[in-house]
Chain A
Amino acid sequence: NAGVTQTPKFQVLKTGQSMTLQCAQDMNHEYMSWYRQDPGMGLRLIHYSVGAGITDQGEVPNGYNVSRSTTEDFPLRLLSAAPSQTSVYFCASSYSGQMNEKLFFGSGTQLSVL
C-alpha cells in the first residue's frame, strides 16, 4: 500500500518558470490537501479538495492553482514561480475530511526558486 505519493522529491526553478507538483493517493480518500512548510511558520494550508471536481482555498492560496479531476490525483500548479515560493510542500489526504480523521501525509517536495 503506497499511501500518499508525491513527485518530484526535489526541484529547482528559476523565477517565472511554471511547474506542477504531483500528488496521488491509493486509499480512496475523498479529502486531499496541499500544505507548505517554512521555518518558524509551520504547515500552512494552500488548497484543499473534498472530492473530484471540488476545490477550495486555504490560508495561502495566491500563486497556486489546483484541480481534482479524479479521486486519486491532486496536482498543485505554480504558474509563475517566485523566490517566496521556496518551501517544502506536503500533500495530505483523509477519508472524508471530517474533524476526527487522521491526515496521511506524503514525504514532501523540496522546492527552490532562484
Chain B
Amino acid sequence: QKEVEQDPGPLSVPEGAIVSLNCTYSNSAFQYFMWYRQYSRKGPELLMYTYSSGNKEDGRFTAQVDKSSKYISLFIRDSQPSDSATYLCASRSNDYKLSFGAGTTVTVRA
C-alpha cells in the first residue's frame, strides 16, 4: 500500500468552477505536504507546500492539511483552461524521501 493515496480521476470541470483535489496518507511522521503540477510531457513543478496542519492560500489556490484525519486537499477557484494538468500530492517526514500520490488529471473545459 502506498503511503500517499490519491484518486487518479480524471476530473473534468467547466471554466470558472471550483476544483477540489484530495489525498490521504498513512505515515504519522509526515510533516511537510506539497502539491506539484505536471503538464503533459513535462516534469512536475511545485505549486504549493504546507507544514503540519492548517491552510495556505496563494492566489486562486488553497492547500489544506488535516493531520488528525491524515487528509490533504487542494482547491482551485475560478478554474481556467490553463489549469488543465495532472496534480500530484506529496508528503515527507524528516528523511530525504518524498512520497507521491498517483496524481489526478484535471481538464478545465472552456
Contact = CB atoms under 8 A, between A and B. Distances in A.
B85 interface: no
A43 B32 contact: no
B103 A42 contact: yes
Contacts of A45: 97-99
A105 B45 contact: yes
Given A100-B51, A105-B43, A105-B44, A42 B31 contact: no
17 contacts: A33-B96, A35-B100, A41-B2, A41-B102, A42-B101, A43-B44, A43-B90, A45-B97, A45-B98, A97-B96, A99-B31, A100-B49, A105-B43, A105-B45, A106-B43, A107-B42, A108-B43
Interface of A: 4, 31, 33, 35, 40-45, 48, 50, 56, 58-59, 90, 92, 97, 99-100, 102-103, 105-108
